[in-house]
Structure 1
Amino acid sequence: MSSNEYLTERAYESCELCPRHCGADRASGKVGVCGSTSQPRVARSALHFWEEPPISGESGSGAIFFTGCPLRCVFCQNHRISQEGFGLPVSTARIAQMMLELKAQGALNINLVTPLHFAPQVREAVLLAKDAGLDLPVVCNTSGYELPQVVSAMGDVVDVWLPDFKYASPSLAGKLSGAPDYPDVAAAALSRMVEQVGAAGGRALADDGRMTRGIIVRHLVLPGHVDDSCAVLDRVWDIAGNGVDVSVMNQYTPNGRCRAAGGDLARAVSDEEYEIVLCHADDLGFENIWWQEGGTVSESFVPGFDATGVEGPELGTSEIGD
């Protein structure tokens, strides 16, 4: 398909919106590998304070958490929405209205969390919100497991890309996320993001430190897999160099499934493991590195997925700006 075809409802008829290429007729109510039909669902719309400083600042990021995900990570902390399907159905107009409500609450940006399996409606919602006065940067917060064509299709409405780069090893990606093609897919998607942001002028910050254009690549260090973490950073450096910020995270928290299975994933990342990965990022030459201090292993990093901010009037049914 051409990039434009990824933006129409026809994209759902034999779905090719993610690298799974499952071909599900989501338009007719079939569920794709992502766990979703073509009906967008949202689990939470609220200010979020636990992103990197250029994203959350002190005022908070306006995060809209979409239901479903093409990956099946065994350690996922958001499994209630990524794999168990929690979320309320919403219209395109309602998504746009949520963006305006978050702006009114003082959000630094609009943070679309795992949105691209709903790319056609999400892009339309951003355009509707902009027509109604939205003037905040739009962040696309993704697992990194995206098609370059979809990244291209969303390029005119996304200002900041916030992708994960989870694995360098295909075998580890297959074991933990059911996606042995993850490293190459994530590399191709990141390359397209770098091209887009570079063509727009590169990384940009506002006077208050918020990122208005750029890329922050996130990597969650997994216990027992320091070598793979360092290989991830090598690959990101080869693709982008200092065209991206990197965020090295130590907040891995074993969920019940991982605790029951035992092994390295049943424990937290050690200080020594985390320090090795941080030092490697520094040795590579990354100029903008974000890291987490001790005490981050906690389920408090998981928002309350309780449909906060999801229900309400649609765009056009109430006074905008009241």
Structure 2
Amino acid sequence: MSEPFTPAYLSLYHSGELAERVRRAHEHLVRCELCPNYCRVNRLQSPRGARCRSGRRAAVASYGPHHGEEQVLVGRRGSGTLFFSRCNLRCVFCQNWDISQEDRGREVTATELAAMMLELQGLGCHNINLVSPSHVLAPLLAALFLAIRKGLRLPLVYNTGGYDSPEALALLDGVVDIYMPDMKFADSKVAQPLLGVADYAEVNRKAVREMHRQVGDLVLDDQGIAQRGLLLRHLVLPENLAGSDRVLSFIAEQLSRNTYLNLMDQYRPCYRADRYPPLDRSTSRAEYRRAVRWAEAAGLQRLDRC
């Protein structure tokens, strides 16, 4: 029988450090450096000047128990998912483009966001799953503080596109239980016209290393539900556009062969993908099988094929 789970953030909350993180994150909004775009705009005054088009508040597109995530998050009662509107990337093939690239959803106060977390806990969800949170870190930490004060005790999942700054990760150290970043591309030059940033691969690798340093390999409870650690996602693209062989080698050699990896076979042309061949077609079964062979050859031991 495993020990009862205690979320990482409780220690910081009781020591007073979490309140300090909330304060520091809010200060960043005056000249925002909370993601690698480093817009350095005053998000308290001119949110539309930021690349993420966000101000002092987070916008939520939807929330509720979600059963479409990895089984180690979903279990029987679902992952308590909060989908944040907007994004700090501009992926031309985004499958949730109506949320990430348009202004669907509504802005909420920290109190409202905390109430959503507590509602998801009350529904029996296994975790609080924050989808695309990188650009709303400051209001998110403020809401988390309020939710903890009112009894939040679930693991916190940071479900990100993988474009995260050292400044943000420093604020999250000891707060996040489960990091779930994408590793989208191995080559920044290939990624630039498709994601809208010039340095994705370099930033992504540095961020993932730091996430792994903070939480280690993924740990499951007796029921097979994730409690703490790193869970990576990599989407296999047509003609190996993502550089899957290099991404998989990096994971095995620079992180851990015990890294829990969801190697995803779900690419379909969405949003503006038809303008960017070969993204104008789905990944073939042969292309996906080749990626699986690369993962196995790299020695990756915890491969979730989804």
Contact 1:6–1:17 under 8 Å retained in 2: no
Partner residue of 1:318?
A: none
Larger displacement relative to structure 2 (184-193 or 225-234): 225-234
Alpha-carbon distance between aligned partners in 2 of 1:16 and 1:58, rounded to the nearest angstrom:
38
**Residue 256 of structure 1: CA displacement?**
4.6
Alpha-carbon distance between aligned partners in 2 of 1:128 and 1:35, rounded to the nearest angstrom:
25
Identify unmatched segments of 5+ residues in structure 1. 293-322
Q: Percent identity?
A: 37
Equivalent of residue 194 in structure 2, options 159, 171, 176: 176
Alpha-carbon distance between aligned partners in 2 of 1:108 and 1:13, rounded to the nearest angstrom:
35
Partner residue of 2:79?
A: 61
Q: Deviations over 1:172-196 (max 9, x none)?
A: 1112101220011011111111111
- 1:103 and 2:82 correspond: no
**What TM-score results when the alignment is normalised by the length of structure 1?**
0.84
Larger displacement relative to structure 2 (218-227 or 135-144): 218-227
Going from structure 1 to structure 2, the CA distance change for 1:21 and 1:227 (only over 3 Å counts) comes to closer
Alpha-carbon distance between aligned partners in 2 of 1:6 and 1:157, rounded to the nearest angstrom:
15
Equivalences for 1:1-322 in 2 at 5 Å? 4=21, 7-31=24-48, 32-198=50-216, 202-225=217-240, 228-242=243-257, 244-259=259-274, 261=275, 263-292=277-306
**Residue 28 of structure 1: CA displacement?**
0.6
Identify unmatched segments of 5+ residues in structure 2. 1-19
Alpha-carbon distance between aligned partners in 1 of 2:112 and 2:264, rounded to the nearest angstrom:
33
Give secondary structure in 2 for the equivalent of 1:265: coil
Larger displacement relative to structure 2 (114-123 or 180-189): 114-123
**What TM-score results when the alignment is normalised by the length of structure 2?**
0.89
Contact 2:22–2:138 under 8 Å retained in 1: no
Contact 1:223–1:264 under 8 Å retained in 2: yes
Q: Which one scores higher on RCO, CA 8 angstroms, separation ≥ 6? A: 1
Q: How many aligned positions are there?
A: 286
Larger displacement relative to structure 2 (116-125 or 17-26): 116-125
Alpha-carbon distance between aligned partners in 2 of 1:102 and 1:19, rounded to the nearest angstrom:
30
Alpha-carbon distance between aligned partners in 2 of 1:5 and 1:133, rounded to the nearest angstrom:
18
Contact 2:88–2:134 under 8 Å retained in 1: no
